[in-house]
Amino acid sequence: HSWGFLFVGGWVDLDMVRYISLLLFIGLAFWSCEEDEPEDCAGVAGGDNLCGCTDSTATNYDSTTSFDDGSCILPIEITYNIHESLPSDWVTEFYVIMDNLLKIIPSYQTNFDHLYIYGWNSNVEDPYSGIDGGAYVGGTPEDKIMVLEINEMEFEWNSLHRYSVIAHEYFHIYQLSINQPMNLPNGDYDPNGFSIKWLLEGTAASFESIYIQDYYDYNYFIDAQNNINEMVHTNPSVFESYDSNNIEINYGSSVFITLVLAKELINLGYSEELAFRMIYKDFMLTGVKNSNWQNHFVDVFGISVDDFYQSLQSYPLD
């Protein structure tokens, strides 16, 4: 017997009410389950997006991602200020060299976002307000400058230094982009900075020579960097400081020490290419600074600094 109650207009079946209530309850439960489905990283309920960097120009590009989460570390932006005093063939070659360098050793916005390059011929007064002449890198923590005042005589003599200096100074920009401590002011010794000269200048100057060798088929090592001080054998640690600039020409002694390190790594079984990558890139990527560089040296190269300095004596200074 089915129970019910009378209302104006007829009977209501209580079993039917219970049945409809149950259906409503199940329906509500189902809908609330649908709403509670977890969101994916893109905020889509029940979605299966993989989030990361979708920009192929970024250093952390991930081709498997489907949603860009804003994490891309993009190449640095470069503003070129190339003065009309420079010969047009140099300007053309300058952009070719920069294009090559940005492919070989790209710099990303890890430690700074922007680079301003200033270039001019030494036969004119410094044309850019607030920018001193010379060949150097500098600037603020956010923005770097790279100055290329090219000596007018280098055009007369067709000196390859007018091109190699571009590779040398840009290599310092690359170093700054991969090693944060190097970005601290390096006038005085700072334990948290990184300013071990032969590891910064020996690398930049050897890179510059390798670049000239590869692209111009010219041995710049013998031409510009063959003047090596005997202190490389007797007291190589003096080349850790920029105070030693007065006892070496074109960083020749620092280059020699760098090349010996590459040779020692090759003797340990590394390929030449890998040896230079370890020196130019892997070592700097450790976040090495003045207070711990000897620890990182042995970690990356598998040789203690003292043992390495001893090994220099077995290489003749020619």
pLDDT in tens, 147-174: 999 999 999 999 999 999 999 999 999 9
Which pLDDT does position 279 carry in this prediction?
A: 99
Task: Please report how the helices 197-216 and 252-267 are oriented relative to each other, as an axis angle in degrees rounded to 10.
Answer: 80
Residue spans per domain, the chain: 4-35, 76-178, 181-318
CB-based burial of residue 184 (10 Å sphere; 0-12 exposed, 13-18 middle, 19+ buried)? middle
Closest by CA to 94, choosing from 150, 138, 136, is 150
pLDDT (average), residues 200-222: 94
* pLDDT greater at residue 242 or residue 41: 242
pLDDT in tens, 298-317: 999 999 999 999 999 999 98
CB 101 within 8 A of CB 167: yes
* pLDDT greater at residue 215 or residue 45: 215
CB 134 within 8 A of CB 163: no
99-104 long-range contacts, CB within 8 A, separation 24+ = 100/211, 100/215, 101/166, 101/167, 101/170, 101/171, 101/174, 101/211, 102/75
Q: What are 219's two structure tokens?
A: 């041995």
Helix (H, G, I), strand (E, B) or coil at 268: coil
> Is the pLDDT at 5 greater than 50, yes or no?
no
Rounded Cα distance between 50 and 243, Å, is 52
